[in-house]
C-alpha cells in the first residue's frame, strides 16, 4: 500500500481528484476517445531517476524519514534493473554544506539497496546549505548527460533518448548571491533531464520562489496529501516523449498543469517523401507511422495549431489525414499499430459540399491557402497522390512510453523506442527536408 505523506497543510480543501487523466478517456478498445494517455504502468517504466535530498537541520529527521519511506514505497512498484532493459534506475545524492553521492545507478541495483539507502538518511547539523545544492545539481547534470549519451550512441542508432528525472527535495533556499550560479547548472541539467522540485518548507517564500523558478514547467511540487501521486504522474510523464515531431498535450484546468499524451506527429514533407499513395507518404520509413487519426477535437485542434503556427513560407496545404474508405468502402481511420478503426461519426469537420457521400476515398484538411488560416476543413480527395498533386500528409505514431519501448522491429534488441531504422536514414531524411525547404523558399521568392 502506498504511504501517503502526513504533512498536508496545503490543499486540504481541494478534495479528491481523479488520479491521472482529467479529460474523459474511454476504453482504449474504442478508438474514438480523446487521445492516448501516456502509460501509467510503473512496473514497465524505463526511467533514470536521480534524487537530490536536502539533509540539513532545516529538513530534519522527521521529514527525512517520511521521504525515505514514501519513496521506498513508490519505487517498490517499479522494476529496478540495468540499463537497456525495460527497467528503471535510481541514484541518490544528499546535500547540506556540500553534496554526498549515497549511491549511483550501479551501486543501487536492487529495490532492497534503494530502500536501505533511503531509510538511512539522517539530518546533519548544518544549518546553511551553502554550495551543497550547487554540487548536487552538478552531480545530477553529469549523470543525466552520461545516461543520455550512452543512449544516443547505442549500436550507431541515432535517436532521442528519454530524459532522466531529477527529483530535488528542498527545505531551504540557497544564499541569494549563489542563486544565479545554481540556476545556471539547473538549466544545463534540463538539456538531459526533467527537473522535478519538491518543496518541503512551503512557509519559506525564498525557497518557494527559487524552486518554482528552476523546476521544469508544471513540475514544481510541494508537500501535500497528493504529493506522491503527483510525483508518480510527473515521473510517468517524463517517461513519455516523442523521438521526432511535436507531442500532443493539453492543459488540465483541474490540476492546473499540462498533460502530455502518448501521441507524436509530423508532416510527411518534413521527410521529403513524395511518392506512392497517401498512406505511403507516412509509412515509407517505418510501418508504425500512420496517417494521423484526428478522431477528436483535441487531436484535430492540436494538428491545426501546428499548421497555424508554421512560419510564413513553410505553410503547406492541403494535407492528407487518416480518414479513408477501405476496400469495402467503409469509412475508417488507421490506428497506430496500422489496424483499421471504423469512424464513429462523433467528430467531423467537413467543408461545405464535402462529406461521407462525396467522391474521393481519402480525406485532406485544407486551410484555403491563407497563411495562418483559422479553419482547416475536411475535403474528399483521391488517394493517388499523382492524381491529386497533394504531397503533404499528417503522420502520427505512438510516443515512446512505459508501454512502448521496443517500438521498432527493425531497430533490433534493447533499443529504447526508435522510429528511424538507422542514423543513415534519419540523416537522409533531414537532408531531403533541408533541400525541400530551400526550394520552397526559392520558389516563394520568385513568385
Ligand atoms: C504493466 O507492465 C507489466 C510488465 O512490467 C505487465 O506485466 C502488466 O500487464 C502491465 N499492466 C498493464 C495494466 O498494462
Ligand atoms: C536524527 O536521527 C539520528 C539517528 O536516529 C540521531 O542520532 C540524531 O540525534 C537525530 N537528530 C536529531 C536532531 O534529532
Ligand atoms: C508552481 O509554479 C507556478 C509558477 O511559479 C506557481 O503558480 C504554482 O503555484 C506552483 N505550484 C506549486 C504546487 O507550488
Ligand atoms: C477545439 O477548438 C474548438 C474551436 O476553437 C473548441 O470549440 C473546442 O472546445 C476545442 N477542443 C478542445 C478539446 O480543446
Ligand atoms: C449518404 O448516403 C446514404 C445512402 O444513400 C444516406 O442514407 C445518407 O443519409 C447520406 N449521408 C449524408 C451525410 O448525406
Ligand atoms: C496513380 O495515378 C497515376 C496517373 O494517373 C497512375 O499512372 C498510377 O498507376 C496510379 N497509381 C495507383 C497506385 O493507382
What pLDDT shows up at residue 282? 79
What pLDDT shows up at residue 3? 33
Q: Name the phi and psi angles at 214, rounded to 5.
A: -95, -15
Count the neighbouring beta carbons within 10 Å of the beta carbon of residue 13.
Answer: 5
Non-local (6+) Cβ contacts of 294 within 8 A are 300, 303, 321, 322, 323, 365, 394
Annotation: CATH topology of 259-446: Mannose-Binding Protein A; Chain A (3.10.100)
Choosing among 3.40.50.410, 3.40.640.10, 3.30.70.360, 3.30.429.10, the CATH entry for 42-239 is 3.40.50.410
CB 161 within 8 A of CB 151: yes
- Enter the pTM of the model: 0.84
Note the ligand closest to the C-alpha atom of 41: 1
Residue 86 CA: nearest ligand 1 atom is 5
What pLDDT shows up at residue 439? 60
Mean pLDDT per 10-residue segment, the chain (447 residues): 29 27 38 79 94 97 98 97 82 97 97 98 90 96 86 51 91 93 97 96 97 97 96 97 87 89 84 61 70 92 86 74 92 84 87 94 82 78 87 88 61 44 52 54 56
CA distance 165 to 194: 5
Q: Indicate the domain borders of the chain.
A: 42-239, 259-446
Residue 224 CA: nearest ligand 3 atom is 13
Going by alpha carbons, the residue nearest to atom 5 of ligand 6 is 387
**Ligand 4, pocket-test mutation among 301, 308, 348, 349, most atoms within 8 A of CB:** 301
What pLDDT shows up at residue 143? 95
Tell me if 309 CB under 6 Å of ligand 6: no
Residue 357 CA: nearest ligand 5 atom is 1
Tell me if 123 CB under 6 Å of ligand 2: yes
Q: Tell how far the Cα of 248 is from the centroid of ligand 4, in angstroms.
A: 14
Q: Tell how far the Cα of 386 is from the centroid of ligand 6, in angstroms.
A: 6
CB 270 within 8 A of CB 437: no
Q: Which helix (H) or strand (E) holds 181?
A: helix 179-189
Q: Tell how far the Cα of 422 is from the centroid of ligand 3, in angstroms.
A: 41
**Ligand 1, pocket-test mutation among 19, 37, 39, 44, most atoms within 8 A of CB:** 44
**Ligand 4, pocket-test mutation among 258, 295, 297, most atoms within 8 A of CB:** 297
Q: Tell how far the Cα of 49 is from the centroid of ligand 1, in angstroms.
A: 20
Amino acid at each position: 500500500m502506498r504511504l501517503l505523506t502526513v504533512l498536508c497543510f496545503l490543499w486540504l480543501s481541494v478534495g479528491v481528484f481523479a488520479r491521472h487523466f482529467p479529460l474523459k478517456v474511454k476504453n482504449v478498445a474504442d478508438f474514438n476517445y480523446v487521445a492516448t494517455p501516456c502509460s501509467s504502468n510503473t512496473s514497465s517504466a524505463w526511467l533514470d531517476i536521480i534524487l537530490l535530498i536536502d539533509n540539513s537541520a532545516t529538513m530534519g529527521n522527521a521529514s527525512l524519514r517520511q521521504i525515505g519511506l514514501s519513496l521506498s514505497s513508490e519505487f517498490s512498484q517499479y522494476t529496478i534493473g540495468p540499463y537497456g532493459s525495460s527497467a528503471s534506475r535510481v541514484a541518490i545524492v544528499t546535500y547540506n554544506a556540500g553534496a554526498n553521492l549515497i549511491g549511483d545507478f550501479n551501486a543501487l541495483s536492487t529495490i532492497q539497496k534503494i530502500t536501505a539507502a533511503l531509510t538511512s538518511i539522517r539530518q546533519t547539523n548544518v544549518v546553511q546549505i551553502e554550495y551543497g545544492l550547487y554540487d548536487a545539481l552538478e552531480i545530477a547534470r553529469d549523470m543525466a548527460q552520461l545516461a543520455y549519451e550512452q543512449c544516443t550512441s547505442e549500436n550507431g542508432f541515432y535517436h532521442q533518448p528519454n530524459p532522466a528525472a531529477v527529483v530535488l527535495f528542498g527545505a531551504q533556499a540557497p544564499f541569494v548571491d549563489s542563486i544565479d550560479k545554481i540556476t545556471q547548472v539547473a538549466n544545463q541539467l534540463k538539456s538531459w533531464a526533467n527537473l522535478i522540485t519538491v518543496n518541503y518548507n512551503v512557509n519559506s517564500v525564498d525557497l518557494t520562489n527559487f524552486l518554482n523558478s528552476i523546476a521544469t514547467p508544471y513540475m514544481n511540487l510541494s508537500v501535500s496529501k497528493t504529493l506522491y501521486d503527483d510525483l508518480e504522474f510527473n515521473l510517468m510523464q517524463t517517461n513519455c516523449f516523442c523521438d521526432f515531431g511535436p507531442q500532443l498535450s493539453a492543459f488540465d484546468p483541474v490540476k492546473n498543469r499540462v498533460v502530455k499524451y502518448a501521441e507524436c506527429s509530423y508532416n510527411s514533407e518534413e521527410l521529403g517523401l513524395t511518392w506512392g499513395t497517401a498512406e505511403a507518404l507516412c509509412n515509407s520509413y517505418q510501418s508504425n507511422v500512420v496517417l494521423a487519426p484526428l478522431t477528436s477535437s483535441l487531436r484535430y485542434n492540436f494538428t491545426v495549431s501546428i499548421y497555424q503556427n508554421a512560419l510564413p513560407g513553410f505553410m503547406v496545404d492541403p494535407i492528407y489525414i487518416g480518414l479513408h474508405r477501405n476496400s469495402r468502402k467503409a469509412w475508417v481511420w488507421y490506428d497506430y499499430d496500422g489496424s483499421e478503426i471504423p469512424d464513429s461519426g462523433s467528430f467531423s469537420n467537413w467543408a461545405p459540399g464535402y462529406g461521407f457521400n462525396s467522391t474521393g476515398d481519402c480525406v485532406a484538411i485544407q486551410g484555403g491557402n491563407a497563411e495562418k488560416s483559422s479553419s482547416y476543413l475536411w475535403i474528399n480527395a483521391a488517394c493517388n497522390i499523382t492524381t491529386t498533386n497533394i504531397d503533404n500528409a499528417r503522420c502520427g505514431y505512438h510516443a515512446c512510453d512505459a508501454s512502448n519501448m521496443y517500438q521498432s522491429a527493425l531497430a533490433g534488441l534493447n533499443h529504447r523506442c526508435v522510429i528511424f531504422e538507422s542514423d543513415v536514414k534519419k540523416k537522409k531524411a533531414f537532408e531531403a527536408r533541408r533541400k525541400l525547404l530551400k526550394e520552397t523558399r526559392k520558389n516563394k521568392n520568385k513568385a
